[in-house]
Amino acid sequence: MRILAIHAHPDDLEIFAGGTLALLAARDHSLAIVTMTPGDCGTSEYGPEEISEIRRREAAASAVLIGANYRCAEFRDLAIFSDDPSRRRVCEILRRARPDLVITAPPVDYLCDHERTSELVRDACFIAPAPNYRTGAEDAAPPLEAIPHLYFADPEGGTDYDGVLVVPDFVVDVSSTFQTKWRMLAQHESQRNWLIKHHGVDNYLVMMEELTRARGRLAGIELGEGFRRYKGHPYPQTPLLEELLGPELVVALRG
């Protein structure tokens, strides 16, 4: 299977889906990791080009740990908009990756970049098989054969704007890949000082572990990552991600 994991910033996929991506990679699925931006505003120490270069390197080093390819879509922080040119760019990313399965940001989350990423990816999945939809890219890739399966990762903190729990459809047991998830996120060393200063987070690795433990607790396991399958018509509704992982690693929370 070809899997595309696409989220807003370098480190988001590691935090919300790193253990699951490591599980999929270990099963020899082809895995492409894309961030919409290079995280150009995630610093108070470096200029935008400098931090972007650092963070692209960090994201690539993280992807290499599970044998995934990494690329940045080169949008910019807090400047992702769900508009016509952006949708065509994201559609071209999909057509080049040709995924059977897409994992992206949730539709409701704490930051506009996450929400716009979710929206752009959802709509690009819908339109990518349509031959009359042209991306305008040089050497444009052909349309997809079909709409890929679409899954949303957890929001930050596992809650909506009001702090209300967002219950995933299912939680993936990532106990066996948690060390890999930790090592992947640890590649994003540039974020340590930034998250202390701007987010008041003592240690971003510990914060990630707390989130992973909290999602695990929902399912009665130690360490977990939650996902929801997009239920919109006419996206495929067979449980592909659950099947790829297998019943021993998937705890269903909602029908």
Name the residues that contact Zn ion, by CB under 5 A.
8-9, 12
Partners of 70 in the β-ladder:
33
Taking CB atoms, the residue at the shortest distance from Zn ion is 9
Nearer to Zn ion, 147 or 211 (CB): 211
CA distances from residue 140 to 83, 96, 107, 123, 127 in whole angstroms, order as listed? 19, 8, 28, 18, 14
State the nearest-atom distance from the C-beta of 255 to Zn ion, in Å: 30
Give Cα separations from 29 to 94, 101, 202, 245 (angstroms). 17, 11, 35, 11
Q: Which is nearer to Zn ion, 209 or 221 (CB)?
A: 209
**Among 127, 121, 178, CA closest to 151:** 121
- CB of 12: closest distance to Zn ion in angstroms? 4
Among residues 16 and 170, whose Cβ is nearest to Zn ion? 16
Of 120 and 249, nearer to Zn ion (C-beta) is 120
Q: Which residue has the tokens 């459809």?
A: 169
Query: If residue 191 lies in a helix (H) or strand (E), which one and from where to where?
Result: helix 191-199
* Nearest distance from C-beta of residue 206 to Zn ion, angstroms: 18
Give me the least distance between CB of 58 and Zn ion, in Å please.
Answer: 14
